[in-house]
Amino acid sequence: MKLTIYHNPRCRKSREALQYLETTEHEIQVINYFDNPLSTDQLNQLLMELDYKPEKLIRTTEAIWKSDFKGKELTAKELVNAMLVEPKLMERPIISNGKKAVIARPLEKLIDFLK
The answer to whether residue 90 is catalytic is: no
Q: CA torsion angle for 87, 90, 91, 93 (degrees, to 10)? A: -40
* Per annotation, catalytic residue among 11, 28, 84, 107: 11
The one-character DSSP state at 62 is S
CB atoms within 10 A of CB 58: 20
Q: Which residues are identified as catalytic?
A: 11
